[in-house]
Amino acid sequence: MDRVLLSHGSGRGLNLLLDNIVLPVLTDGNSLYTEDAAILQWDSMSKLAFTTDSFVVTPLSFPGGNIGKLAACGTINDLAMMGAIPKYMSVSLIIEDGFSVEKLKCYLKSLRDICVTNNVKIVCGDTKVVESGNCDGLFINTAGIGEFCQGSTMLSARNTSDGDQVIVSGPIGLHGITILAQRGNLSFASNAISDCAPLSAMALHLMNASNSVRVMRDATRGGCAAILNEIAKSSDVTIRLDQSKIPVPDVVKGACSFLGLDPLQIANEGTFIAIVSPSDTQKCLDALHELPEGKNAQCIGTVLKKGKYSVEMITEIGGIRPVEVPHGQLLPRIC
Amino acid sequence: MDRVLLSHGSGRGLNLLLDNIVLPVLTDGNSLYTEDAAILQWDSMSKLAFTTDSFVVTPLSFPGGNIGKLAACGTINDLAMMGAIPKYMSVSLIIEDGFSVEKLKCYLKSLRDICVTNNVKIVCGDTKVVESGNCDGLFINTAGIGEFCQGSTMLSARNTSDGDQVIVSGPIGLHGITILAQRGNLSFASNAISDCAPLSAMALHLMNASNSVRVMRDATRGGCAAILNEIAKSSDVTIRLDQSKIPVPDVVKGACSFLGLDPLQIANEGTFIAIVSPSDTQKCLDALHELPEGKNAQCIGTVLKKGKYSVEMITEIGGIRPVEVPHGQLLPRIC
């Protein structure tokens, strides 16, 4: 590997770049990056969660959101998925010379609105301007700090085991198909609306309902396929999905069948996977169904202990097929 | 203001962009960004410091450092300047398609080495790849969390008052002149070496020596002029410098006189201003002189209470001239 390529931006290429180049240098091979956020013992009293994401989405604005909303939701969701309550956010801007001030204000307002409604304080930031042609309009980095309630369960992709149930919080594939439709001007998917949303309220509600939530993960880059494979690998289990249970909106189904894509590999920005103990599955589903944003939550699969890790799916015609991490770069700059 | 321009990247232009566009939208006008880092009450027991910076320096490598070293030092220094001990760092990369893996590894190694020697743990990160032409090689964002020792003094640009003394930790202007020389291929300044360095050990040593340090600030974008004006404004005081005391290296003096620049407006990346009580000035200087990196520390001025805030300098010929924040963009992408 001599050059970083666009295909290293997600899926298997990203794993390759991280595992072979970035993580060995930055962390001496400790794979600290496998969770959505780091959990840090702060003092004898408390832990905190810490995360960061840079947003380079194109187009900057799309049905259901824009780069500002995405930057706020992305960091809030990374904290929420660890079971933390998002508290503080940093906002760092890289702006291209000539960028519209009106658009900048619009995106920053979206970012702030999400923070305000989720009780997250924007407390520090940075602003850089680069020459025209040296960045694509606007890049936003957010970092976030979250706190844990006393006695709260620690979630981890390593926590799941035989018999656990896989829940998805809502319909899948909407963010990726929305971006794809906007970029490709695909009329047959032009009514797709991104699911971009903050997940902290839903995550907290779920954890209050049950103390046997093992893992939560928002299914962003690489979609459900990527995060289910990460969980399966981290816990060394097989995850078996039931295709008939997976909520795929018509617009996603249509676009995927037309373009030969797998809805499980399409990015989401407001949908998460929760893996819960079998005894609490119904309780968890009931809790999610109480919220408007969780009304389509479904149990879509089961965790099996079978030795080698894998993700597989019982198809609608009764076969079993593997669910793989996307190979190349399905769609660059989805977030 | 319709468009964000390159001139909004530092000095007065940056203040204009922040005060009129970014801060009113993000923070409802609370100017939370006037310090190097935010100080957050974490729980009843402890406070933490939180900061972020995006690095877009060009060229990516220069005498004395590179973007990786700069990204580590920048965030470590922002925490250290608040009197915090840097503990944790996030690293977020935006990489251009085609970027050299060897260079990436080299910059990340520099970043990590600074963290290792300063006991800072890299705990989370993010990696994005964008198409060729949509970013300039490599941008790095770091965010950092620092802790305060129990009973440690809270530093703030608001803290200084009549009679306090202004100390500079070392020679000024080296980073900016180094970058300028590299970019402009200026042979007369080609032996300039950036001062890029972590300041946490020196800052801690100073605070251990005296509990009457009021403010510390690393003199980055806009140089000493910008940060002294910020301190003067925040504390509503006049800061009077004595030109004969300011340590300006020959290479900086030469380049500035040739190019018509003011050394006080040139960026540093490993030099800070400390404002201390008059009674402890000698003790503070002695402490700095004990360290190799502080051996050229000097007392360069005095704080006066005169009503309207300002920064002024007694020149070497005995006159008084104002020390102003750079107007336009002296040198874009210095960090």
Query: In the prediction, which pLDDT does B268 show?
Result: 97
From the list A309, A286, A315, the residue with the least C-alpha distance to A299 is: A286
Q: Does A22 reach chain B within 8 Å, measured CB to CB?
A: yes
Note which residues in 234-263 of chain A have CB less than 8 A from chain B. Answer: none
Pairing state between β A272-276 and A165-168: antiparallel
A27 — pLDDT class (breaks 50, 70, 90): confident
Query: In the prediction, which pLDDT does A154 show?
Result: 81
Name the E strands within A265-309: 272-276, 298-304
Query: In the prediction, which pLDDT does B10 show?
Result: 83
Q: Which of B3, B94, B104 sits opposite A98 (nearest CB)?
A: B3
Query: In the prediction, which pLDDT does B153 show?
Result: 77
Query: In the prediction, which pLDDT does A70 show?
Result: 98
B32 — pLDDT class (breaks 50, 70, 90): low
Q: Which residues does chain B have within 8 Å of residue A136's beta carbon, measured at their own beta carbons?
A: 130-131, 134-135
Note which residues in 285-324 of chain B have CB less than 8 A from chain A. Answer: none
A85 and A54 Cβ atoms separated by less than 8 Å: no
ipTM over 0.90: yes
Percent of chain B with pLDDT over 70: 97
Query: In the prediction, which pLDDT does A216 show?
Result: 96
Q: Does A328 reach chain B within 8 Å, measured CB to CB?
A: no
pLDDT surpassing 80 at residue A209:
yes
pLDDT surpassing 70 at residue A234:
yes
pTM for this one?
A: 0.95
Query: What is the arithmetic mean of pLDDT over B281-304?
Result: 98
Q: Does B332 reach chain A within 8 Å, measured CB to CB?
A: yes
A 10 A CB-CB count for A255 gives: 24
State the DSSP string of B119-174.
T-EEEEEEEEEE-TTSBSSEEEEEEEEEE--TTPPPP-TT---TT-EEEE-S--SH
Query: What is the arithmetic mean of pLDDT over B203-227?
Result: 95
Note which residues in 87-146 of chain A have CB less than 8 A from chain B. Answer: 87-88, 90-102, 104-105, 108-109, 111-112, 122-131, 133-136, 139, 141, 143, 145
Q: How far is CA B229 from CA A230, A324, B28, B34, B239, in A?
A: 50, 57, 24, 12, 8
Query: In the prediction, which pLDDT does B29 show?
Result: 57
Helix (H, G, I), strand (E, B) or coil at B78: helix
Q: Does B187 reach chain A within 8 Å, measured CB to CB?
A: no
Q: Which of A48, A108, A133 sits opposite B26 (nearest CB)?
A: A108
CB-CB under 8 Å, B27 with A111: no
CB-CB under 8 Å, A88 with B333: no
Q: Which residues does chain A have within 8 Å of residue B54's beta carbon, measured at their own beta carbons?
A: 92-94, 126, 128, 139, 141
List pLDDT tens digits, range A161-184. Answer: 999 999 999 999 999 999 999 998
Q: Does A148 reach chain B within 8 Å, measured CB to CB?
A: no
Angle at A280 (CA atoms; ends A276, A282), nearest 5 degrees: 105
Query: In the prediction, which pLDDT does A29 show?
Result: 57
Query: In the prediction, which pLDDT does A105 show?
Result: 97
List pLDDT tens digits, range A273-301. Answer: 999 999 999 999 999 999 999 999 999 99
